[in-house]
């Protein structure tokens, strides 16, 4: 398996992200993938598709708040061991272990490798926006200044749906998928050359761990679950091994087109897809005395899913039913 530099968590975050930025399939971890050449054949434009609207990209395929909250803290503890959502739906730190009020601090390395969140460093802005953002951060917060007469002035984040550039391409939930993008590629005008990985060794190990667990070989399963966690700079898991396996598949394989099949295989599709689809609204207030107050508020980002148990199966085709009239159609079709 590729060495991402654990236990150095900053190195893990950087190397994990750059693993998917490679231009060749040279890594032994890649089981099956595809290379691209800018000068020949088909390429892809994942930067344009998934990048921020504030650099004139399309802002698609961002994680929901529930996915963001799934990432652990840097010590391997659960996010909600330290934070809670209060009655006003604001995220509040309830712990003294990690003292910062910002929920994006002190998270595990794969969070920083996979997710663009408010204030994360990304790419340089177009020339006309560089005076406002010389660093090139992903900006989702609203900046509110309180005025002496009781009124206030709002300046909206450059990557929101009220930003000055391509506002209709601002995502609704507040986050974007950093994983798979190439930080050196300008998605507005360039195609991508980085590889597309269909299967890698980490998935093979997680598949093996699940098979071991189904056979009752829990010690063997734990060995490979922890191998994935340790490579990501995290300690061995604690608690229920089945939940640990499912968590690692969700985090490690995020965006790699396995989750849909996982929740169907585990028969948890209904409970997984029923909860409201949340996002984040961030408000930074400059008070009259010059101090700042910032809130991170859970919001409903999308219409509810309406999952159906029939999605555990696919329909048997009409042609096949005619060939064998004794067949019973799968439930719900």
- Model pLDDT, residue 269: 97
pLDDT number for residue 219: 98
Residue 317 to residues 239, 260, 312: CA-CA distances in angstroms?
43, 22, 16
14-31: burial string, b at 16+ Cβ within 10 Å, e else: bbbbebbbbeeeeeebbe
Contact of 6 with 233, CB cutoff 8 Å: yes
pTM: 0.94
76: confidence class by pLDDT, cuts 50, 70, 90: very high
Q: Give me Rg for the CA atoms of the chain.
A: 22
* pLDDT tier for residue 236 given thresholds of 50, 70 and 90: very high
Q: If you average pLDDT over every residue of the chain, what do you get?
A: 97
Name the CA dihedral angle for 169, 175, 180, 184, rounded to a multiple of 10 degrees: 70
Supply the pLDDT for residue 277. Answer: 97
Q: Are 227 and 54 in contact (CB under 8 A)?
A: no
Distance, CA of 101 to CA of 121 (rounded, Å): 19
Cα–Cα distance, 249 to 244 (Å, whole number): 9
Describe the chain by its helix, strand, coil percentages, rounded to 5.
Answer: 30, 20, 50
For residues 186-214, average pLDDT: 97
| Confidence band of 88 (pLDDT split at 50, 70, 90) | very high
As a whole number, mean pLDDT of residues 85-113 equals: 96
Say which DSSP state 72 is in: P
Q: What is the mean pLDDT of residues 221-228?
A: 98
Average pLDDT over residues 38-50: 93
Strands (E), 176-328: 176-177, 196-200, 277-286, 292-302
pLDDT at res. 52 = 98
Give the pLDDT confidence score for residue 104 in this predicted structure.
Answer: 98
Q: State the DSSP string of 124-160.
A: PPPGGGTTT-SS-B----EEEEE-TTS-EEEEE-TTS
According to the model, what pLDDT value does residue 5 have? 97
Q: How far, in whole angstroms, is CA 198 from its chain's centroid?
A: 18
The pLDDT of residue 230 is: 98
Give the distance, in angstroms, between the CA of residue 84 and the centroid of all CA atoms in the same chain: 20
pLDDT tens column, 136-156: 999 999 999 999 999 999 999
Query: For 191-211, what is the mean pLDDT?
Result: 97
Average pLDDT over residues 150-164: 96
pLDDT, mean of residues 311-328: 95
Give the closest residue to 252 by CA, choosing from 25, 86, 19.
19
pLDDT band at residue 19 under the 50/70/90 scheme: very high
User: Taking the domains of the chain in order of start, what are their residue ranges?
Assistant: 307-333
pLDDT at 80: 98
């Amino acid at each position: 398996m590729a060495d991402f530099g654990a236990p150095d968590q900053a190195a893990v975050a950087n190397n994990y992200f750059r693993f998917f930025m490679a231009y060749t399939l040279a890594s032994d971890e890649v089981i099956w993938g595809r290379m691209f050449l800018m000068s020949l054949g088909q390429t892809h434009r994942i930067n344009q598709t998934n990048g921020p609207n504030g650099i004139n990209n399309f802002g698609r395929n961002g994680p929901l708040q529930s996915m963001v909250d799934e990432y652990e803290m840097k010590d391997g503890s659960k996010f909600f061991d330290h934070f809670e959502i209060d009655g006003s739906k604001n995220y509040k730190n309830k712990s003294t272990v990690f003292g910062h009020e910002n929920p994006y601090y002190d998270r595990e390395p794969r969070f920083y490798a996979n997710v663009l969140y408010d204030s994360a460093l990304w790419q340089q802005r177009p020339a006309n926006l560089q005076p406002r953002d010389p660093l090139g951060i992903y900006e989702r917060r609203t900046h509110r200044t309180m005025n002496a007469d009781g009124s206030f002035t709002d300046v909206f984040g450059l990557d929101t749906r009220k930003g000055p550039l391509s506002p209709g391409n601002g995502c609704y939930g507040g986050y974007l998928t950093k994983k798979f993008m190439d930080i050196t590629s300008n998605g507005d005008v360039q195609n991508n050359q980085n590889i597309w990985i269909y299967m890698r060794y980490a998935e093979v190990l997680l598949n093996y761990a699940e098979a071991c667990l189904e056979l009752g070989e829990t010690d063997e399963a734990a060995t490979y679950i922890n191998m994935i966690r340790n490579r990501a700079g995290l300690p061995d898991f604690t608690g229920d091994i089945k939940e640990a396996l499912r968590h690692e598949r969700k985090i490690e394989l995020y965006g790699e087109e396995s989750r849909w099949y996982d929740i169907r295989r585990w028969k948890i599709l209904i409970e997984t897809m029923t909860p409201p689809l949340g996002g984040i609204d961030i408000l930074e207030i400059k008070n009259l005395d010059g101090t700042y107050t910032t809130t991170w508020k859970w919001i409903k980002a999308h219409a509810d899913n309406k999952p159906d148990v029939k999605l555990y199966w696919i329909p048997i085709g009409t042609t096949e039913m005619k060939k064998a009239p004794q067949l019973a159609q799968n439930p719900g079709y």
